[in-house]
């Protein structure tokens, strides 16, 4: 942000906030600040000055202060002494008495393209390019050896003498000429190198004495201590990923202490390679130093990436608490009995009132949802994958009105994928009663398949404090809303041919489809009032036909699951139409054969994708193990003092890496296909439940039981999938409310769900469920549901097969039942079918 701040922290008590007088100076330099150093940077004086590095500029400031009458009246300011405008973007800098100069410091700046620029205070000295440079690394100057030390992109520590830099070829002549190759000028030659095999985070130099110093390099996984000539003194493998470090001389002669901060918010102190202390920090440190403030020595200063500056010390606070002496007194049992009775009375009264608020009480919060009847003038759809179709968006407004003070009420909105919200999480603060808050967001279709439902859900969670529970009782309010069909569907030409057809019977005369679907009328064919065509965004088409002579409607499409939305929308609009006319006895029914075979094909496709996902994950695990094994062998070869041939291990490593990447892409593609397949399966499940309800005239409670059994999951995962969950739920229904004998009720379900080997058992149980409903079975969850039912249909229910032989007979009987049922319906509906074909023609 370009802010330069200077702090002078004071000791404070635990829990106190920082004092304003701790901040001595704050200056906005208007450019990002990369690094700050203090040294003798101004000629003619040995006073300390402040060097600030910007991406394209180096500035040197003098910091001065003016005394006030009181301590917090002191004023500080910075004065610009000189600045250098850089021709290249800077990365970092280091300073020191380059070349052994006395009484002044020189500055060396490393650019992002590998150029070292040396400044002799107010003047530019020279610039040199590092050989083989790719990315900048940490850079330090060693006064004892008069050399610059860095870590290159080759993951090796490199040392360059200052004299070699000064007499090497000028950076303006980066490409060697023929004359230089013959001997004119000197090439930049590295003094020594050491391969550490990882990128370095920081470098620091610590001197034991004027005759010896150590070079510390903090890697991504290891800490290295080197001698002046590049030889390893020792190294330490770190347990956590480090973020910063600071070596300093130890009180023990010949050892060095090192402060290391890591990304686990820990600060660890090592004496050489031995861990001496570890402490937890409230943040991840990005820089650590040790200083003295107000006669406090050894203060550890840490800085987080969010600008949190903390001064702390190592050690523990002594506990000054002393337990008070307990006064011994005699117990008065009569008083205890009276107190016990009072407490029991309070508990009894509390139980009688109940923990939850009574339902008769007026709601604390009212939630209402309004869906705009028109599309947004400017569509909010982004990142859509629907080809050339223009994707519209529609605005939904949620209004909350409170009657009491509520804090942190959270609103969550959910719609079925691939419908997407521009924002789905909101937080409200109702500090006063009778406040009204409204939020608006847009909904649009992102992917090229149809959602399983057009219904959304707005859920508000909050806590309401009570007299007995000040923390509050959690409460949840939900409000459902319905999105318009035109959000995912467009009008289209009716199709004369289709692979899947459904016929819905009603007890009232047919209604004009143009009045039911006014927004989908085709202007070019106004005469066809009993035929409508729909096209979902993404390509699939559905045709709706109304019979001219009978009370039937036909829905047909090339995809089975696409019938669901149009069928449900048709029944919903028919009910609303007759309710407006005051007709109360309107009813729909279904007399055709249940499309179980098409439904089973979708189940098999979904299950096949789950099996493929498991196989791909196993294969990826094998390739990852192989990749790590090749890495270990290569690392062993590279660490060997006597180099051995690689024997094509590098080629094998590259091939395995490509396989790992290809498998990961395939798994992502399979997961995307599984998500689409699950949405289609849910649509088909909704359609099958609707047809079963119309076929057997089930009540709303029985349809809710079917939905709970067939649609138990909002998301499908490898650990808990749709097939095993639905199989267990249907088996429970067959052994409870749809059971025939007490022997079936005695069978226990497995307590652990796992992915089945195939879907044959699930499909048999779904068929058996339909068979028992056809023979008079009814769904219920009452306590007496386990009692054997008396069927009114002759023959009774077929019991759950206990063996494969019995399963085959049950499957055969069920097939004959639906085959005979289908033949009977075809005979009775044949004249009407021909009439509907004439309508479509």
What was the pLDDT predicted at 527? 55
Q: What is the rounded CA–CA span in Å between residue 181 and residue 197?
A: 33
DSSP string, 556-568: EESSSTTHHHHHH
Q: Could you report the per-residue pLDDT of 746-758, keeping only the tens digit for each? A: 455 556 788 888 9
Report which listed range, 633-647, 680-694, 729-743, 816-830, is most confident. 680-694
Looking at per-residue confidence, does 588 or 838 come out higher? 588
Sequence-distant (6+) residues with CB within 8 A of 508 are 551, 578, 583, 586
Sequence-distant (6+) residues with CB within 8 A of 153 are 132, 133, 134, 135, 137
C-alpha triplet 17, 20, 26: angle, nearest 5°: 125
Find residue 206's DSSP bridge partners: 214
Domain boundaries, the chain: 365-483, 488-583, 596-775
Q: What is the rounded CA–CA span in Å between residue 48 and residue 29?
A: 20
First-to-last C-alpha distance (Å) of the chain:
72
Label residues 250-272 b or e (16+ Cβ within 10 Å = b): beeeeebbbbbbbeebbbbbbeb
Across 242-246, 444-448, 531-535, 812-816, least confident range: 812-816
C-alpha triplet 54, 56, 61: angle, nearest 5°: 45
Please give the structure tokens belonging to residue 736: 């409870």
Cα dist from 293 to 78, 128, 310, whole Å: 22, 41, 13
**Among the listed residues 488, 513, 522, the one whose alpha carbon sits nearest the alpha carbon of residue 417:** 488
Q: Where are the beta strands (DSSP E) in 272-364?
A: 274-280, 285-293, 296-304, 309-312
Longest dimension (CA), the chain: 115
Q: Could you report the per-residue pLDDT of 324-363, keeping only the tens digit for each? A: 777 666 788 888 999 999 999 888 877 766 555 444 444 6
Q: What is the rounded CA–CA span in Å between residue 313 and residue 11?
A: 11
Q: Could you report the per-residue pLDDT of 638-669, keeping only the tens digit for each? A: 887 777 778 888 899 999 999 999 999 999 99
Residue 70 has pLDDT above 70, yes or no: no
Average per-residue pLDDT for the chain: 82
**Among the listed residues 661, 619, 655, 653, the one whose alpha carbon sits nearest the alpha carbon of residue 633:** 653
Residue labelled with tokens 């909350």: 400
Across 11-15, 276-280, 671-675, 766-770, least confident range: 11-15
Residue 834 has pLDDT above 50, yes or no: no
Q: What is the rounded CA–CA span in Å between residue 428 and residue 312?
A: 38
CB 3 within 8 Å of CB 27: yes
What was the pLDDT predicted at 598? 92
Which band of pLDDT confidence, cut at 50, 70 and 90, is reported for residue 581? confident
Where is 157: in which H helix or E strand?
Answer: strand 156-161
Which band of pLDDT confidence, cut at 50, 70 and 90, is reported for residue 225? very high
- Indicate the SS3 state at residue 437: strand
Q: What is the rounded CA–CA span in Å between residue 633 and residue 625?
A: 13
DSSP string, 391-417: PPEEEEEEEEEESS-EEEEEEEEE--T
Q: What is the rounded CA–CA span in Å between residue 185 and residue 173?
A: 11
Report the CATH architecture of 365-483.
Sandwich (2.60)
**Among the listed residues 466, 495, 506, the one whose alpha carbon sits nearest the alpha carbon of residue 356:** 466
Residue 53 has pLDDT above 70, yes or no: yes
CB 79 within 8 Å of CB 60: no
């Amino acid at each position: 942000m370009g802010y330069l701040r200077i702090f002078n922290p004071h000791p404070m008590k635990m829990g106190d906030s920082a004092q304003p007088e701790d901040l001595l100076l704050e200056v906005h330099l208007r450019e990002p600040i990369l690094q700050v150093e203090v040294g003798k940077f101004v000629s003619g004086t040995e006073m300390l000055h402040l060097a600030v590095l910007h991406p394209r500029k180096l500035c040197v400031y003098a910091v001065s202060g003016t005394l006030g009458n009181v301590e917090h009246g002191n004023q500080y300011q910075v004065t610009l002494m000189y600045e250098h405008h850089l021709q290249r973007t800077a990365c970092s800098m280091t300073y020191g008495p380059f070349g052994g100069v006395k009484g002044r410091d020189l500055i060396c700046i490393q650019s992002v393209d590998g150029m070292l620029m040396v400044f002799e205070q107010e003047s530019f000295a020279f610039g040199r390019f590092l050989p083989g440079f790719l990315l900048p690394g940490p850079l330090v100057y060693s006064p004892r050896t008069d050399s610059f030390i860095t870590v290159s992109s080759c993951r090796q520590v490199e040392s360059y003498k200052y004299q070699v830099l000064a007499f090497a070829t000028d950076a303006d002549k980066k490409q060697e000429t023929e004359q230089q190759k013959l001997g004119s000028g000197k090439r930049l030659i590295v003094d020594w190198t050491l391969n550490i095999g990882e990128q370095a985070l920081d470098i620091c130099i610590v001197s034991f004495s004027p005759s010896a110093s150590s070079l510390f390099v903090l890697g991504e996984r290891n800490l290295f201590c080197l001698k002046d000539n590049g030889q390893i003194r020792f190294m330490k493998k770190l347990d956590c990923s480090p973020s910063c470090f600071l070596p300093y001389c130890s009180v023990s002669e010949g050892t060095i202490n090192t402060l290391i901060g890591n990304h686990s918010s820990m600060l660890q102190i090592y004496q050489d390679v031995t861990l001496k202390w570890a402490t937890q920090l409230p943040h991840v440190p990005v820089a650590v130093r040790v200083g003295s403030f107000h006669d406090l020595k050894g203060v550890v200063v840490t800085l987080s990436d969010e600008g949190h500056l903390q001064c702390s010390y190592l050690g523990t606070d002594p506990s000054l608490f002393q337990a008070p002496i307990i006064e011994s007194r005699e117990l008065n049992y009569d008083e205890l009995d009276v107190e016990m009775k009072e407490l029991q009375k309070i508990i009894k009264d509390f139980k009688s009132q109940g923990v939850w608020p009574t339902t008769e009480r007026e709601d604390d919060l009212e939630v209402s949802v309004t869906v705009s009847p028109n599309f947004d003038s400017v569509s909010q759809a982004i990142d859509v994958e629907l080809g050339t179709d223009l994707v519209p968006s529609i605005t939904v407004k949620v209004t909350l009105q409170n009657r009491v003070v509520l804090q942190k009420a959270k609103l969550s909105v959910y719609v079925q994928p691939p419908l997407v919200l521009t924002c789905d999480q909101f937080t409200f603060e109702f500090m006063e009663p009778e406040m009204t808050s409204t939020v608006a967001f847009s909904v649009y279709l992102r992917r090229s398949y149809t959602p399983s439902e057009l219904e959304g859900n707005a859920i508000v969670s909050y806590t309401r404090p009570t007299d007995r529970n000040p923390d509050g009782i959690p409460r949840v309010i939900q409000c459902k809303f319905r999105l318009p069909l035109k959000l995912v569907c467009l009008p289209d030409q009716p199709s004369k041919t289709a692979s899947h057809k459904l016929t819905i019977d009603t007890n009232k005369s047919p209604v004009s489809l143009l009045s039911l679907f006014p927004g989908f009328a085709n202007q070019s064919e106004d005469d066809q009032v009993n035929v409508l065509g729909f096209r979902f965004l993404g390509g699939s088409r559905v045709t709706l036909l109304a019979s001219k002579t009978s009370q039937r409607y036909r829905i047909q499409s090339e995809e089975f699951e696409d019938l669901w939305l149009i069928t449900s929308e048709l029944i919903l609009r028919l009910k609303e139409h007759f309710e407006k006319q005051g007709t109360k006895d309107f009813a729909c029914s279904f007399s055709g054969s249940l499309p179980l075979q098409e439904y089973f094909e979708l189940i098999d496709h979904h299950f096949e994708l789950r099996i493929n996902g498991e196989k791909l994950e196993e294969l990826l695990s094998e390739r990852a193990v192989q990749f790590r094994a090749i890495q270990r062998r290569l690392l062993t070869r590279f660490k060997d003092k006597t180099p051995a041939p690689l024997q094509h291990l590098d080629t094998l490593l590259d091939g395995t890496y490509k396989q790992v990447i290809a498998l990961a892409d395939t798994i992502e593609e399979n997961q995307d296909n599984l998500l689409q397949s699950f949405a289609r399966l849910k649509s088909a499940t909704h359609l099958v439940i609707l047809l079963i309800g119309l076929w057997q005239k089930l009540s709303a409670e029985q349809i809710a039981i079917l939905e709970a059994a067939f649609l138990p999951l909002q998301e499908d995962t490898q650990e808990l999938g749709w097939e095993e969950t639905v199989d267990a739920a249907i088996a429970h229904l067959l052994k409870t409310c749809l059971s025939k004998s007490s022997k079936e009720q005695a069978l226990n379900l497995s307590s652990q769900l796992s992915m089945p080997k195939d879907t044959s058992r699930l499909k048999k149980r779904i068929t058996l469920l339909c068979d028992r409903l056809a023979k008079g079975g009814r769904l219920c969850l009452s306590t007496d549901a386990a009692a054997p039912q008396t069927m009114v249909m002759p023959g009774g229910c077929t019991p759950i097969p206990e063996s494969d032989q019995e399963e085959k007979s049950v499957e055969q009987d069920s097939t004959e039942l639906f085959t005979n049922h289908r033949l009977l319906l075809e005979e009775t509906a044949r004249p009407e079918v021909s009439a509907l074909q004439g309508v479509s023609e």
